[in-house]
Amino acid sequence: MKSYRKELWFEVPGRRAFINITPDVEGAIRESGIMEGFVLCNAMHITASVFINDDEAGLHDDYDKWLEKLAPHEPVSQYRHNVGEDNADAHMKRQIMGREVVVAITDGRLDFGTWERIFYGEFDGRRRKRVLVKIIGE
């Protein structure tokens, strides 16, 4: 069995963003040379997510509005976590959108449904953050 590890780095200029990282993960699979196995992809921060869904701008805008309803950023004083920081909403948004995804690799490719894509969800940007890509197989 082979294994391969790579970190993907992001610095989102605003507080929140969704980034399609499917091409980066496909690149890591090519670099690994693994043809049959699994890829794990996880945010290495507790205020960011990795999730799978549709690459459709309207849906991403809907997610952003929905998450703001569930855990509004303002007023920051509504959260007990926000003593000395202001990112309690980002922790909650990350919890809803998830930490990681695992995808099967078949014949050297992501074994995806037609519309599935992998996204990095940033909820407290403006600093460098990373995603772990770990591939195992043969």
Give the residues lining the site for Zn ion (CB under 5 A): 85, 87
Q: Measured from the CB atom, is 7 or 85 closer to Zn ion?
A: 85
Q: What is the DSSP string of 101-117?
A: EEEEEETTEE---TT-E
CB of 71 to Zn ion, least distance (A): 12
Q: Measured from the CB atom, is 24 or 89 closer to Zn ion?
A: 89
By CB neighbour count within 10 A (0-12 exposed, 13-18 middle, 19+ buried), where does 81 fall? middle
CB of 137 to Zn ion, least distance (A): 35
Q: Measured from the CB atom, is 62 or 85 closer to Zn ion?
A: 85
Whole-angstrom distance, CA of residue 90 vs CA of residue 15: 9
CB of 76 to Zn ion, least distance (A): 11
